[in-house]
A and B are shown apart, each in its own frame.
Chain A
Amino acid sequence: MGQLPLGADHLRRATLRMAGAVLVAFIIFAPLSSLVIWSFTQKWFWPHPFPQEMGLFYWSKVLEGDLLRALQSGFLIAVIVTALTLVLTVPLAYLLARYPVPLKAVILMIFLLPHAFPQLPVFVNSTTLLYRVNLAAKVSGVVLIHMVGALVYAVWTMTAVFKSIPESLEEAAMNLGASRLKTFFTVALPLATPGLIASTLLVFLYSLDEFTGTLLVGSPFVLTLPVYMYRTSVGYELQVASIAALILMLPGIVLLVVLERYMKAEYLSMFGRL
């Protein structure tokens, strides 16, 4: 008898929790559900609350056509951007974290600068510049414009990651005779790896989702998924745009789950101490 109220209490709490989860799920997924519905719609006219005809017609059409090409070139650009960013920023971030670099604040601020102004003027100006050096409408131009935006995420997060590693761990290695390079590769880099993965994912996702710069610099030859989605939706091909949006979400969801696993709270706490 004594256990009954406890059981009831437990049940009430479980119900509340379930209701909360449903509410959250609705807020997150209800807007998305219209994307899902639209992607399978073949005929849907007012005033019908649901599509009159549904099917895989647009999916098969899209998967045969330009979408895959856009997906492919988008991934290629994202991979190049990520690789270049890593190569450039890992050493830079390590230097900024460990050495009394003069004008450190100014350097960190420079990377933030492209984000400090409205995106459109920044990208329009970059585009005219890139036309002048014959890089516009090319993958290399898009890679460059993506890196302008992505470097700040990489430099800031990686500097924070290296800062979060106690310096004594590296001193212990040097003290035992390890060179600075050896210390970096055996101590600093392995310990920073989870943070570097998180930072890499941020850059990858940024590049994959970047729209304004890609549209301005890449048109008309470089087609990525966001640009493709934009083109199809302004052409009132809502089904195609919905499918593109759904596909564009997938890598984001997958990578954010991974990101959540590698991102540590102490990296964020280091931002204030850069």
Chain B
Amino acid sequence: MEVRVEGLTKRYGRVAALEAVSIAFPSGGLTAILGPSGCGKTTLLRSLAGFVPVDGGRVLFGGEDVTRLPPQGRGTAMVFQNYALWPHMTVFDNVAYGLRLKRLPEAEVRARVEKVLHLVEIGHLSGVMDRRPAGLSGGQQQRVALARALVVEPRVLLMDEPLSNLDAKVRQRLRVEVRRLQKAVGITAIYVTHDQEEALAIADTVVLMDAGRVIQTGSPQEIYFRPRSAFAAEFLGVSNQLRGNAETGALAIGTQRLPYTGSVRGPAILIFKASDASLAAADLPSGSGEAALRGTLEEHLFLGAVYRHYVRVEGETVMVDAAEPVDPGPVTIRFPAGKVQVYAAPEAGE
């Protein structure tokens, strides 16, 4: 079932949490809403669930206008960051809660709870159904919370940073699990996160938000490789920003000039990813099709997979990743054409 929001607006006092947001969430797809904290992504999710009354706009579930419906009437199921399992109930009672509300016969409740617990791969744990949530690990608790949400066969599955309370290893595994489950059930799912890597890994569609507005919508690849603004590029990776001035045919960064053929003119921001650039000795002539900037290498840190080099360029520090460490001193940063993005600088004061 397709979910759509049209012109959704929500204000807290004078702060706009949602500013005329319109998004279509494709049926059966997993859409990640990505953005920094305070960008309105959680408000958006909560307004879909009906917890936040909106000031304007519409929420449509498969054509049905649910904007004025209370949470009870929406048929959504939410997975919370803190799991929100009821500590005074057993795992079984937690998962069975929604089914019992529907007054299903107890035998059917039991069968469906067992089935869903196996679906989230927790049913094999001995005596899991009679345990209290507090007796389970964080990852197991979130699996139970997923089971509780899925067992009622909701119209939409809403997930509010479901993995951010878990440690990195469990998070990576559950990420795969969530995607597998969503595909197996074929449910329309909306997943809020501030973690760009998680959003890219899990989603069919990524919606990037900032300050209550949608900045960009697209597949993970589109968002990652073709960010349409300085904010998007900055948010989607370990990126470097250099301020400069765009002219016809060239981009001036301090005293240095890069070849440039784009359409931006005037104050501009040059953005490149730390992993796209490479380092060369200072006196090496730059190859054709490559842009290069001279700078001073100050230090490098070993991050495990790569060495991260901190290079001072025209008064600003940029990061360059490389497999081998380079010694401090004068260097040339090279980036392949097409891996560098140039955007008009945001207005002053922003």
Contacts and interface: CB of A to CB of B under 8 A. Distances in A.
B101 A171 contact: no
Interface string B93-124: 00001100110000000000000000000000
Interface residues of A, number: 17
B80 A172 contact: yes
B296 interface: no
Contacts of B102: 177
Interface hub of B71, B87, B102 (most chain A Cβ within 10 A) = B71
Given A168-B80, A168-B82, A176 B51 contact: no
A219 interface: no
B340 interface: no
A208 B253 CA distance: 81
B159 interface: no
Nearest to B81: A168
B196 interface: no
Contact of A177 (B72, B78, B80): B72
A176 B102 CA distance: 10
A60 interface: no
Interface string B22-55: 0000000000000000000000000001010000
Nearest to A182: B101
Nearest to A193: B88
B101 A187 contact: no
A169 B84 contact: yes
B285 to A, nearest CB: 60
A234 to B, nearest CB: 50
A175 B49 contact: yes
Nearest to A169: B84
Interface of A is mostly: helix
A251 to B, nearest CB: 28
B213 interface: no
A258 B180 CA distance: 49
Contact of B88 (A168, A173, A190): A190
Interface in A100-118: none
B87 A191 contact: yes
A187 B101 CA distance: 13
Contacts of B86: 169, 172-173, 187, 191
A168 B84 contact: yes
B71 A175 contact: yes
B101 A166 contact: no
A136 to B, nearest CB: 45
A178 interface: yes
Contacts of B84: 166, 168-169, 171-172
A179 interface: yes
B170 to A, nearest CB: 20
B88 A176 contact: no
Given A166-B82, A168-B80, A176 B98 contact: yes
Interface string A166-198: 101101111111110010001100110000000
A172 B167 CA distance: 23
Contacts of A174: 70-72
B76 interface: yes
Contact of A171 (B51, B87, B88, B148): B51
A178 B72 contact: yes
A114 to B, nearest CB: 35
16 contacts: A166-B84, A169-B84, A171-B49, A171-B80, A172-B78, A173-B86, A174-B72, A175-B51, A175-B76, A175-B78, A176-B152, A177-B72, A177-B101, A178-B72, A182-B101, A191-B86
Interface of A: 166, 168-169, 171-179, 182, 186-187, 190-191
Given A174-B71, A175-B77, A177-B72, 7 more contacts: A166-B82, A169-B86, A175-B72, A177-B152, A179-B72, A182-B101, A186-B97
Interface of B: 49, 51, 70-72, 76-78, 80, 82, 84-88, 97-98, 101-102, 148, 152
Q: Which 7 residue pairs are nearest across A and B when measured between Cβ atoms? A: A176-B98, A168-B84, A172-B84, A174-B71, A168-B80, A175-B78, A177-B101
